[in-house]
Structure 1
Amino acid sequence: MTHPLKTALVTGATAGFGHAIALRLVKEGFRVIATGRRQERLDALAKEAGENLLPFKLDVTDLAAVKALPGSLPEGWQQVDVLVNNAGLALGLEKAWETKPSDWEQMIATNVTGLVEITRALLPGMVDRNAGHVISLGSTAGTYPYPGSNVYGATKAFVDLFMRNLRSDLLGKQVRATNIAPGLCGGSEFSQVRLGDNQKAAAVYEHTKPLLPEDIAETVAWVLKLPPHVNINMVEMMPICQAAAGLAVDRTMDN
């Protein structure tokens, strides 16, 4: 069963970017499958968005559930035209030799394996229909290293190269692939999750005007509105209060 409105699936829709993207896409005329781990938040989002949003509990690190996703969606919602790979997280700012291996494992499981597996689950349908769009949320951390970013930055560098290679694989197909890489962004749970402390998280944004989830949602909406022959490979965006810091130099070493 097909539906006249295009269907978008947004991962990590229970807060932050995903919440804003889901609401914006409903406003733009999409039917949205909003996924996440917290059912109560998905239900609240559905109440806010209306009948064109389907709450669907899904943990992208549950690989069995992800692989079964195409057949698990309700009738009428199984043709996914747009996949927004938003689910992701950063954990800790410790140096590589001080960090918890479990933090690294969780970031890789979510930011890399989860993203790859859900893309693999839904991409064949897009290719068969010769239409679709995969949008992944990367980060400027995938381009510009900083102390404590170690595995988090590496996972976002993976997202960038995965999406570029995906575009190469899709040559000759009418399926688009885009990486959106934001810099400093507030208004989400990102820093609270990363630092585990609300005061430390708030300090990240003191005296700044960071990007907001609505800015990311605006960018997703813009990319999707472009003519179908236009593919935006990558969008790197920062607030004007941020810039690449340049190379670091240690000046404490003896000559």
Structure 2
Amino acid sequence: MSQERNALITGASAGFGLALSRELVRRGWRVVGTGRQAERLERVRDELGAAFVAVRGDVIDPAHRARLAEIAVGLGHLDLVVNNASALGPSPLPTLADYPLDVLEQVYRTNVVAPLAVLQVALPLLRAVDGVAVNISSDAGVEPYPAWGGYGSSKAALDQLTAILAAEQPGLSIYAFDPGDMRTEMHQAAFPGEDISDRPTPESVVPVLLRLLEQRPKSGRYTSADFATEVVR
């Protein structure tokens, strides 16, 4: 493409979102990245320079999403949207019998409602350049792991939302992508006190997602194993 490629990534200040932002900027993309913690987001901006447009805020906040929409429209098009921001819920993870319902509502607002709200704004900008939308999923949305009911059910809802949106938007590539376990703060919070150093780093999973973007299969749900050519620790 002759024009600059633009990406919108939520949860871009840490973990997989940060690793993906770094690689896209390295490849010449402009990334609009969101995050809740101003200090972290500023560090990413200082590291990546003008190619990283930092927008602090929480994706569940309509005012923040309105600001994202304003910036995205100003870019003219979006080649990629990655809904990466997620809420785990309480740590340690509670069973559903003891799950605080107000927290469950917050998890769903972050993991289900916000990604749809972002894509409602982004769809016209993606259509302009045959762009790609990716919602980050989890195997917890498929497997019934005890104590993962809040997070897992929200990701199951996100998977179904993604599938229906893809059916309604046949002209776009819309994916749910399960990156697998990664060595991130959120994964550590899910296993407090445990050693998770054996999990792959987010940086090692980014090339897998990029292969998905390059190959552009039919819209659907994919895992990192579907596109991994080697395991990198």
Tell me which amino acid in the other structure corresponds to 2:55. F
The equivalent of 1:66 in structure 2 is 65
The answer to whether 1:201 aligns with 2:192 is yes
- Per-residue deviation, residues 126-160 of structure 1 (Å, max 9, x unmatched): 23x15111011000001101111112111111121
Tell me which amino acid in the other structure corresponds to 1:217. V
Report percent identity of matched pairs.
27
Counterpart of 1:97 in 2: which secondary structure? helix
Following TM superposition, by how much is the alpha carbon of 1:5 offset from its aligned partner in structure 2, in angstroms?
Answer: 1.3
Following TM superposition, by how much is the alpha carbon of 1:202 offset from its aligned partner in structure 2, in angstroms?
Answer: 4.3
Instruction: Give the TM-score of the pair, scaled to structure 1.
Output: 0.79
The equivalent of 1:44 in structure 2 is 43
The answer to whether 1:91 aligns with 2:80 is no
- Number of residue pairs matched? 225
Tell me which amino acid in the other structure corresponds to 1:162. L
Following TM superposition, by how much is the alpha carbon of 1:7 offset from its aligned partner in structure 2, in angstroms?
Answer: 0.1
The equivalent of 1:190 in structure 2 is 186
The equivalent of 2:224 in structure 1 is 237
Tell me which amino acid in the other structure corresponds to 2:113. T
- Per-residue deviation, residues 63-100 of structure 1 (Å, max 9, x unmatched): 2331453224584x352221000000212311112122
Give yes or no for contact 1:177–1:233 (8 Å, CA) kept in 2.
yes
The equivalent of 1:217 in structure 2 is 206
Give yes or no for contact 1:137–1:180 (8 Å, CA) kept in 2.
yes
The equivalent of 1:27 in structure 2 is 26
The answer to whether 1:5 aligns with 2:1 is no
CA 1:202 to 1:225, structure 2 compared with 1: closer, same or farther past 3 Å?
A: farther
- Per-residue deviation, residues 181-209 of structure 1 (Å, max 9, x unmatched): 133221x1103544xxxxx534052xx62
Tell me which amino acid in the other structure corresponds to 1:79. H
Cα distance in 2 between the residues matched to 1:113 and 1:183: 22
Give yes or no for contact 2:87–2:110 (8 Å, CA) kept in 1.
yes
Aligned CA-pair RMSD:
2.5
Give yes or no for contact 1:134–1:177 (8 Å, CA) kept in 2.
yes
Give yes or no for contact 1:10–1:86 (8 Å, CA) kept in 2.
yes
The equivalent of 2:121 in structure 1 is 121
Following TM superposition, by how much is the alpha carbon of 1:178 offset from its aligned partner in structure 2, in angstroms?
Answer: 1.2
The equivalent of 1:246 in structure 2 is none
The equivalent of 2:109 in structure 1 is 109
Give yes or no for contact 1:91–1:193 (8 Å, CA) kept in 2.
no
Tell me which amino acid in the other structure corresponds to 1:99. Y
Greater share of helix: 2
Which runs of 5 or more residues in structure 2 are unaligned? none
Cα distance in 1 between the residues matched to 2:224 and 2:215: 18
Counterpart of 2:144 in 1: which secondary structure? coil
Cα distance in 2 between the residues matched to 1:34 and 1:177: 20
Instruction: Give the TM-score of the pair, scaled to structure 2.
Output: 0.86
Larger Rg: 1
CA 1:6 to 1:102, structure 2 compared with 1: closer, same or farther past 3 Å?
A: same
Which runs of 5 or more residues in structure 1 are unaligned? 195-199, 241-255
Tell me which amino acid in the other structure corresponds to 1:81. D
